[in-house]
Chain A
Amino acid sequence: MIRVQNITKSFGAVQAVRDVSFEAPDGKITGLLGPNGAGKSTTLRVLYTVIKPDSGSANIDGVDVVTDSLEARRRVGALPHGAGLYQHLTARENIAYYATLAGVPKSEIDGRVEKVIDELEIIEFADRQTKGFSQGQRTKVALARSLVHDPHNVILDEPTSGLDVTATRSLRDIIRKLKSNGRCVLFSSHIMQEVAALCDDIVIISHGKVAIQGTTERILERTGTNDLEDAFVAAIRRVEPVA
């Protein structure tokens, strides 16, 4: 369960996030939808605690991301946008490294690594050095290593970008599987169809502000449209800064 309350974050003169609040409940997939530069990544970065909000608060399973960031990180598996692997390590070694750092007991590491390799269908390339992996393979390994400590909350920043159709589909299946395990999945995308196909709840962000949030049906209802694309455009227009 992820809860965000009124967070604000500026980089210099640029206000990346302005007063954003939303909730991502357990057992559901929550989609953070918005155009490029809307503040999605910044919001997610605050949640996996690599940056601190200027004001407002956020918590993971009730653990504050600022005051108890270490514990918050323990409850989160994060896949940042464009996450890189260690090229000279094999996929398995990459995953095992994260497992050890995340505090998985030594006796359980092999089993856990094996389990995510199996779940994410990595076995074919698990023992190759990751140099030269395709984008799809890289994403799978990066996701596997962020899931290896079995986090209850999963944060994915544009996980499907750069993936081909098959890879995207297989990733969607994985995300659905995470949800059916009762996890809280929060993922961002600027592709509406993807969010529509996958998410239970949608939070549309534009210019650092939440434009609208709710289930697909609710959003269609509130924007008075019958097409998510129209709803998206309508919602974004609401927060467009007055020129």
Chain B
Amino acid sequence: MKTILTVIRKEVLDNFRDRRTLLTAVIMGPLFGPLLFAVMINLSIEKSLSAGERTLEVPVIGAELAPNLVRFLESKSINAIDGPETIDEAIEAVKSGEQSVVVRIVPEFGEQLANAEPATVEVYSDEADNDARKEARRVRSALGEYSQGISALRLMARGVSPQVLRAINIDEVDVSTPSGRSGLLLGMMSYFFIFAMLIGGMYLAIDSTAGERERGSLEPLLSLPVTRDQLMLGKILASCVFMALSLALSIVAFAIAISYLPLQKLGMTPNFGPVAAVGAFFILAPFMLLGASMMTLVASFTKSYKEAQTWVSAVLFAPTLPIIVVSILQVRPAFELMFVPSLSQHLLLVDMVKNEPVVLENIVASAVSTLLLGGLFAWIAAKLYRREGLLG
């Protein structure tokens, strides 16, 4: 135990004095995630706000044929402007992206309307373009409203209640809580945390194995009266210390970033106060041992610092796979999933942030299974450390 502590203390001190390792652990890992997150949230806020409130300018061909319709559109913040004059020009303008939506009022519009026949209004848009589709939808729904208004008037003129046309009244009740919606977007933060954690311990894991061998300090170390298991365990735990530091900083940075982001505008009220921050740390903490053992294991396989860097970087992405798969499939937390490291932490974290009850058994299952797997990797790493080939 004393030996392990000695190794931990030395590795931590050594790496604290290494500017690159320290910068990665305390700056890059912890700040990268929250920053990227803040930028993404801001972009998405801007986007969703602009789509709803901005005045749309839509070229209307034949606007003069339907002054009432144009006035109605204006009341819905959709202004008719001059633009393409013919159908071909309209199609061209939409295709090239010059215009998102073009409306054409057919020449027979007035006549058809007067005869109470369905009057035709054409809407040109590129449905493959997300923004254009949103604008086209706004135009269509405004046109639909106008159409309903006229229909109601016609029915009343014939002594029929417009109610006749409403056989079913659809009432939509959205039960998703504001924090429920935020969970989706905040889901990616678990990846940032895991990433920050791994990045924080990465250089130490490499330095204490491949680096040590490359410097020629491994052989004298192995000639000391200590067992290799003790050395290996000390190195893995030293990585854990750096990972804990990275994780803690990253969580604090995140909590600060979130308090400044106008998430309410997106209808989000994420639960990420001090209590949740501490909770997040403990949910993620068991992953440290696994991450550190994995990186140390991979790094001790390699022949040089550079090679180790390449391989360990690959390890950084392994924990993201389950998270990505689950995000796509929209899986709900289930007990079985608690046995998949990184995924279980992700699911627990998302639930906590969404203000949903987190089941204690799930927390225990996640922690125990992740720690066991971490222990297994540490054992394999220690076993490999006993090989002679280690000296290279």
Are the C-beta atoms of A50 and B391 separated by less than 8 Å?
A: yes
- The answer to whether A74 and B225 touch across the interface, beta carbons within 8 angstroms, is yes
B residues 1-41 touching A (CB-CB < 8 Å): 2-3, 6-7, 10, 13-15, 17-18
Tell me whether B13 and A101 are in contact (CB under 8 A).
no
Interface flags, A57-99, vs B, CB<8A=1, else 0: 0000000000000110110101110111111110001000110
B338 to A: closest C-beta gap in Å: 39
Tell yes or no: A168 within 8 A of B by CB. Answer: no
Decide if B215 is an interface residue (CB 8 Å cutoff): yes
A98 lies within 8 A of B388 (CB): no
Interface residues of chain B: helix, strand, loop or mixed (majority)? helix
Report chain A residues within 8 Å CB of B3.
Answer: 101
Pick from B7, B17, B216: contact of A129, CB below 8 A: B17
B residues 210-246 in Cβ contact with A at 8 Å: 215-217, 219-227
Flag if B14 contacts A71 (CB, 8 Å).
no
Contact of A52 among B10, B215, B216, B388 (CB under 8 A): B388
Give the distance in Å from the alpha carbon of A88 to the alpha carbon of B18 in the complex.
Answer: 7
Bound CA–CA A89/B15 (angstroms): 10
Q: Is the CB of B217 within 8 A of A84?
A: yes
CB-defined contacts of B217 to chain A, threshold 8 Å: 83-86
B223 and A101 contacting across the interface, CB-CB below 8 Å:
no
Residue pair B223, A50 in contact (C-beta under 8 Å)? yes
Q: Which residues of B contact A83 (CB under 8 A)?
A: 216-217, 219-220
Flag if A88 contacts B225 (CB, 8 Å).
Answer: no
State the Cβ distance, B174 to closest chain A Cβ, in Å: 57
Q: Do the beta carbons of B224 and A50 come within 8 Å of each other? A: no
The reply to whether A78 and B10 form a contact with Cβ atoms under 8 Å apart is no
- Give bound CA distance, A51 to B392, whole Å: 12
Which residue on chain B has the smallest CB distance to residue A86? B14
Q: Is A22 an interface residue (CB 8 A)?
A: no
> Which residues from chain A contact B15 at a C-beta distance below 8 Å?
88
CA distance A155 to B6 in the complex (A): 25
Q: How far is the CA of A143 from the CA of B220 in the complex (A)?
A: 10
The residue that A76 contacts in the complex, of B2, B17, B219, B223, with Cβ under 8 A, is: B223
| A48 / chain B contacts, CB cutoff of 8 Å | 223
Chain B residues positioned under 8 Å from A100 (CB to CB): 2, 6
Chain A positions within 8 Å of B227 at CB level: 70
Interfacial chain B residues near A70, Cβ < 8 Å: 225-227
Which among B6, B10, B222, B388 is the interface contact of A89 at CB below 8 angstroms?
A: B10
Q: Decide yes or no whether A189 CB sits under 8 A from chain B.
A: no
Complex CA distance for A20 and B388, rounded to whole angstroms = 20
B13 contacts A89, C-beta separation under 8 Å: yes
**Cβ-based interface call for A146 (8 A):** yes
10 contacts between A and B (CB under 8 A): A50-B391, A84-B215, A84-B220, A85-B217, A93-B13, A101-B7, A101-B221, A101-B225, A103-B225, A146-B223
Q: A89-B14, A97-B6, A129-B17 are in contact. List 12 more A-B contacts (CB 8 A).
A: A45-B219, A50-B223, A70-B227, A73-B223, A73-B225, A80-B223, A84-B216, A84-B217, A88-B15, A89-B17, A103-B225, A149-B225
